Amino acid sequence: MTKFRKLIPVVSLAVAVVFSTGMLQGQSSDRAKTLGSKLICMCNCGQILTACNHVGCTRSAAMLKEMDQRVASGDNDDLIIQSFVQEYGEAVLAEPPAHGFNGIAWAIPIVASILGLGLVVVLIRNWRHTPVPAPAAPGPSISPEVLERARKQADRETDD
């Protein structure tokens, strides 16, 4: 009985390992891998389908198997992707489509870059055209000897 009890965790582990892991179907074809990298695993982990092997994933194995079957049946890439979208919704796509409402996701970085670039250029132009303020004091309160020594030291330390 004690021996049996000791075996419980080992058996549990074996059962857990068999039933809790995804991607155990052997090696997928390169095409299936490429297509799988365009999809998200629907187990709510948010990871790419081909990368999802987290413990407890219940979906990736089935999705990859489905992908392999569709690739083997000779469907073209678009058809395969569309069939997944029909089955799981747009959320299965790893990146949002570049059209319609989802296009906004792609547009934001571009718009931010253009606006930012415009802002930077305008700021720099404004700064370039700002007149130099006249010195309030007649001159620095450092003697010419000290300034000269400082210049020489700076030259020594920064020039070739």
Residues 45-84 that bind another protein (CB under 8 A): 45-48, 51-56, 61
Q: Of 86, 96, 47, give the one whose Cα is nearest residue 66.
A: 86
d(CA 62, CA 94): 17
CB 40 within 8 A of CB 10: no
Residue of the chain from 2, 73, 134, 159 that contacts another protein (CB under 8 A): 159
* CB 102 to another protein: min, Å: 6
Smallest separation (angstroms) from another protein to the CB of 76: 20
Q: Which of 76, 78, 130, 134 binds another protein (CB under 8 A)?
A: 130
What is the rounded distance in angstroms from the CA atom of residue 41 to the CA atom of residue 59? 7
Intra-chain end-to-end CA distance of the chain, in Å: 84
Would you count residue 134 as binding another protein (CB under 8 A)?
Answer: no
The answer to the question of residue 122 lying near another protein (CB under 8 A) is no
